[in-house]
């Protein structure tokens, strides 16, 4: 019996090390195409609440429960390393795999408000190489989505073209008056 116990005891450390390496590799794979990595303090959350939060996230976002040391090892030497000070306490890690950041953060805020979990806030995030602390999350939550940015850019590009077309399509007398009005405005 003693030999069986000693055999099991000596084989467990290599197994634990292999599991730890496997988890680190999984975290590194999550980081490969990640646009944002955020920590969420999850002290006191139940499994059912975490499952509800995971279900509310968009498909491009993934919530992972992992030990802080595992995350620290996975982010070592990467652009995410500035998140290391936020890896304290009980955290869940939000990996966002698209550049649509506000839609990925909104379910977390809604969850926080619906369950009245004021203490379960973001601990920090890294986006485009910059560390955002808990106080700076408003900048991430209110930034425009890609479609909103495209619509704004298109509007900026379209306005001068529409003005030019309206001048070109105006009857000859109206065009002269519009041109004179535009010249008088530019002289002032």
The predicted model scores a pTM of 0.70
pLDDT tens digits for range 31-67: 888 999 999 988 888 889 889 899 999 999 999 998 8
User: In 3D, which of 71, 87, 89, 81 has the Cα closest to residue 30?
Assistant: 71
pLDDT tens digits for range 154-185: 888 878 877 777 787 877 655 556 556 555 55
CB of 65 within 8 A of CB of 50? yes
CB of 139 within 8 A of CB of 132? yes
Q: What is residue 92's DSSP assignment?
A: E
């Amino acid at each position: 019996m003693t030999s069986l116990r000693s055999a099991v005891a000596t084989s467990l450390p290599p197994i634990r090390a292999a599991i730890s390496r496997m988890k680190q590799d999984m975290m590194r794979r999550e980081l490969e195409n990640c646009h944002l990595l955020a920590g969420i303090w999850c002290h006191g959350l139940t499994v059912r609440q975490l499952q509800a939060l995971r279900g509310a996230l968009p498909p491009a976002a993934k919530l992972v429960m992992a030990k802080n040391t595992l995350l620290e090892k996975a982010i070592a030497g990467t652009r995410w390393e500035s998140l290391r000070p936020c890896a304290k306490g009980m955290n869940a890690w939000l990996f966002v795999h698209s550049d649509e950041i506000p839609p990925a953060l909104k379910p977390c805020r809604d969850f926080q408000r619906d369950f009245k979990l004021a203490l379960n806030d973001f601990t920090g995030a890294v986006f485009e190489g910059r560390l955002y602390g808990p106080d700076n999350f408003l900048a991430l939550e209110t930034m425009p989505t890609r479609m909103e940015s495209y619509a704004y850019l298109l509007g900026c590009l379209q306005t001068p073209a529409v003005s030019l077309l309206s001048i070109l399509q105006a009857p000859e007398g109206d065009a002269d008056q519009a041109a004179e009005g535009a010249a008088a405005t530019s002289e002032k």
